[in-house]
């Protein structure tokens, strides 16, 4: 997985309590046999979990330079990774947030960004709304993490 996708994936699975080896194997697209790489991925995951717990989390969003000198956030990779993380958790846990109005509302910005046609990834239909929606992803991730913690046995 590219780094932004892996960040979304590990964010979605942060509260799951699933074994690190299976998460890392999925994120690496192969068994997590390289101890050095597994250690780096573990530190990466630990940092994002710490950020989520402190509500100081920001999703890893790629940025594209624009002709006007500005940058356009490209959240598609992170959003795809988050959805892949939900898929990894299994059908019941994947569907649980959609069945809850609070969690469903928190997923809305992420799902809205995934509704783009491929040609809109680099040219969103409404750039102001796009930026506003991207700006909600960190807060949504923290909210979903806390939602999961409240319902998952630990």
Taking the model in full, what pTM does it have? Answer: 0.91
Quote the pLDDT of residue 23: 75
Structure tokens at 62: 């790629």
114: left (phi over 0), alpha (psi -120 to 50) or beta: alpha
Residues composing the chain: 154
Domain of 90 in residue numbering reads as 3-151
pLDDT in tens, 15-55: 887 666 777 777 777 665 666 777 888 899 999 999 999 99
Task: DSSP for 86-106, please give it.
Answer: HHHT-HHHHHTGGGSHHHHHH
Quote the pLDDT of residue 36: 75
The CATH number of the domain holding residue 143 is 1.20.120.740
Q: Please report, rounded to a whole number, the percentage of residues in the chain having pLDDT higher than 90.
A: 68
Quote the pLDDT of residue 50: 96
Quote the pLDDT of residue 141: 97
Structure tokens at 74: 């490209």
pLDDT in tens, 98-120: 899 999 999 999 999 999 999 99
Dihedral pair phi/psi, residue 59, rounded to 5°: -70, 150
Dihedral pair phi/psi, residue 12, rounded to 5°: -65, -30
Q: Average model confidence (pLDDT) for the chain?
A: 90
Q: Please report, rounded to a whole number, the percentage of residues in the chain having pLDDT higher than 70.
A: 92
Mean pLDDT of 117-142: 95
> Lowest mean pLDDT: which of 6-20, 51-65, 113-127?
6-20
> Lowest mean pLDDT: which of 23-27, 66-70, 95-99, 133-137?
23-27
Quote the pLDDT of residue 103: 94
Domain count, the chain: 1
């Amino acid at each position: 997985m590219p780094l932004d996708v892996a960040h979304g994936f590990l964010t979605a699975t942060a509260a799951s309590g699933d074994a690190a080896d299976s998460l890392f194997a999925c994120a690496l697209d192969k068994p997590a046999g390289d101890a050095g790489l597994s250690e780096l991925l573990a530190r990466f995951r630990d940092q994002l979990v710490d950020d989520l717990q402190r509500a100081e989390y920001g999703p890893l969003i790629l940025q594209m330079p624009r002709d006007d000198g500005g940058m356009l956030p490209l959240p598609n990779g992170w959003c795809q990774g988050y959805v892949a993380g939900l898929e990894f958790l299994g059908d019941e846990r994947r569907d649980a947030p959609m069945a809850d109005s609070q969690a469903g509302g928190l997923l809305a910005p992420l799902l809205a960004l995934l509704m783009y046609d491929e040609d809109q990834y680099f040219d969103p239909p409404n750039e102001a709304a796009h930026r506003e929606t991207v700006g909600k992803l960190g807060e949504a991730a923290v909210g979903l993490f806390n939602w999961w913690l409240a319902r998952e046995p630990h």
